[in-house]
Amino acid sequence: MCQLLGMNCNVPTDICFSFEGFCARGGKTDDHKDGWGIAFFEGLGCRVFLDDKPSIASPIAELIRHYPIQSTNVIAHIRKATIGPVGLENCHPFSRELWGRDWVFGDCKLVCVSSLKSFCH
């Protein structure tokens, strides 16, 4: 099963320290090596980074570990593939723009698309 890391703060904070340990679970201290992603909310926008490489070996993850992006809301995900191939299309968090806002979604189980459609209507 996949793993999630979230941070919610009242003042913009970087996630470098927590992400360092979380990132190690993507191939060093655990076997969640089938991709990863992280999203940072900045004002009304969202900065999203995804990679289908193990987070422990990803140059993008290396950047995040050493670049203190300030945010009040962060969500990160490391994947252990159980359904679907290893690829960017299956790396969370997913990001979409809807109603003029950025929305980010990450999950650790199979999601029924029809139930998501009924939730949004």
What total of structural domains would you count in the chain?
1
Please tell me whether the peptide bond between 12 and the residue prior to it is cis, using omega within 30 degrees of 0: no
Close Cβ partners of 118 (under 8 Å, ≥ 6 residues apart): none
Return d(Cα 87, Cα 54) in angstroms, integer: 11
pLDDT range class, residue 89, cuts 50, 70, 90: confident
Q: Catalytic one among 2, 23, 46, 91?
A: 2
One-letter amino acid of 82:
T
Cα dist from 39 to 75, 102, 106, 109, 119, whole Å: 5, 11, 10, 19, 23
By DSSP bridging, strand 3-13 and strand 45-51 are: unpaired
Q: What does pTM read for this prediction?
A: 0.82
Q: How confident is the model at residue 28 (pLDDT cuts 50, 70, 90)?
A: confident
* pLDDT over 70 at 116, yes or no: no
Is the model more confident about 72 or about 86? 72
CATH of the domain at 35: 3.60.20.10
**Residue 60 pLDDT grade (very low, low, confident, very high; cuts 50, 70, 90):** very high
- Judge whether 2 counts as a catalytic residue: yes
Could you tell me the residue range of the domain that residue 32 belongs to?
3-120
Measured over the CA atoms of residue 23, residue 73, residue 17 and residue 70, the dihedral's sign is positive
